[in-house]
């Protein structure tokens, strides 16, 4: 059995199937871990979700910001923008079944035995493992509730960019969503900057990539994440494994086999 890690598929169905074939991924014996953003940007979000649903017993998923956006668009609280390429999904006969399946997915995956944490964007420098689990569970419970559209309508908020252990639940949810699905840079005190998306090579202090701020509570874990395609050619500490190589922008889909750290690449197919 092997564990494979991939992220930011973004509707690139052909590239996904090609890289799985290239790696000899076996749905009967292997596991595919996906660090979010299954949909949007690429042309075939519906095909990606249908395929992953068909092999759901062989995959582990965390939701990314674009996955949450699809759920929000489906529920009618976000605009269906042209660049999302969601029309096929929204008109599909099985869209309700697929959305409910997405809603049931986690926002973080933790394997304490293997010391692995997988998340879409990042982990707050101010969090320990207990807080990570608590915040992830609150998000999952909110997505599974009958009031999930109201939750999504109220949760997107750039102003909640700092952590306070005394937060009311709604602000705790807002901060958690920002951390798990949107963060890239922090200030030295751990507060989030939710605006900057540029490569660290052109950014100066006081902005720091979140993974460069010390967090003694998770330093024994390997942190696997996506979301940040402009990290290409950035020197990242060995504890962290960034997976997003910008396939939907004409880059590559990247997959890591955990046991031997072998890397697989699949170029974008025009």
Each residue of 242-255: pLDDT tens digit?
999 999 999 999 99
Strand duo 222-225 + 240-242: pairing: parallel
Residues 6 or more apart whose CB falls under 8 angstroms from that of 90 comprise 73, 74, 80
Q: Give pLDDT tens digits for 168-219.
A: 999 999 999 999 999 999 999 999 999 999 999 899 999 999 999 999 989 9
Strands 185-186 and 192-193: antiparallel
Name the residue among 132, 126, 130 with its Cα closest to residue 189. 126
Domain ranges, residue 74:
3-267
pTM of the model: 0.97
Sign of the C-alpha dihedral, residues 236, 238, 239, 245?
positive
CATH of the domain at 231: 3.60.21.10
Residue labelled with tokens 């690449």: 265
Number of domains making up the chain: 1
How far apart, in whole angstroms, are the C-alpha atoms of residue 119 and residue 232?
A: 18
| Whether pLDDT at 232 is above 80 | no
């Amino acid at each position: 059995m092997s564990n494979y890690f991939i992220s930011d598929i973004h509707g690139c169905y052909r590239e996904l199937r090609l890289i799985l074939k290239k790696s000899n991924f076996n749905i009967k014996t292997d596991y595919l871990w996906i660090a979010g953003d299954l949909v949007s940007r690429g042309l075939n979000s519906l095909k990606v979700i249908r395929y992953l649903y068909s092999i759901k017993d062989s995959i582990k998923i965390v939701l990314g910001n674009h996955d949450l956006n699809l759920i929000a668009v489906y529920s009618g609280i976000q605009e269906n923008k042209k660049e999302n390429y969601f029309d096929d999904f929204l008109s599909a006969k099985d869209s309700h079944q697929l959305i409910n399946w997405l809603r049931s997915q986690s926002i973080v995956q933790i394997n304490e035995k293997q010391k692995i944490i997988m998340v879409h964007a990042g982990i707050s420098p101010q969090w320990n493992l207990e807080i990570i689990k608590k915040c992830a569970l609150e998000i999952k419970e909110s997505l599974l509730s009958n009031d999930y559209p109201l939750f999504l309508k109220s949760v997107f908020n750039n102003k909640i960019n700092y952590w306070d252990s005394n937060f009311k639940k709604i602000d705790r949810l807002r901060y958690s969503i920002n951390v798990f699905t949107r963060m890239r840079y922090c200030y030295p005190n751990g507060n989030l900057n939710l605006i900057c998306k540029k490569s660290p090579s052109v950014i100066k202090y006081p902005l720091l990539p979140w993974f460069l701020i010390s967090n003694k509570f998770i330093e024994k874990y390997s942190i696997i994440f996506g979301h940040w395609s402009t990290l290409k050619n950035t020197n990242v500490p060995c504890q962290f494994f960034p997976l997003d190589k910008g396939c939907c922008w004409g880059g590559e889909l990247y997959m890591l086999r955990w046991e031997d750290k072998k890397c697989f690449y699949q170029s974008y197919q025009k």
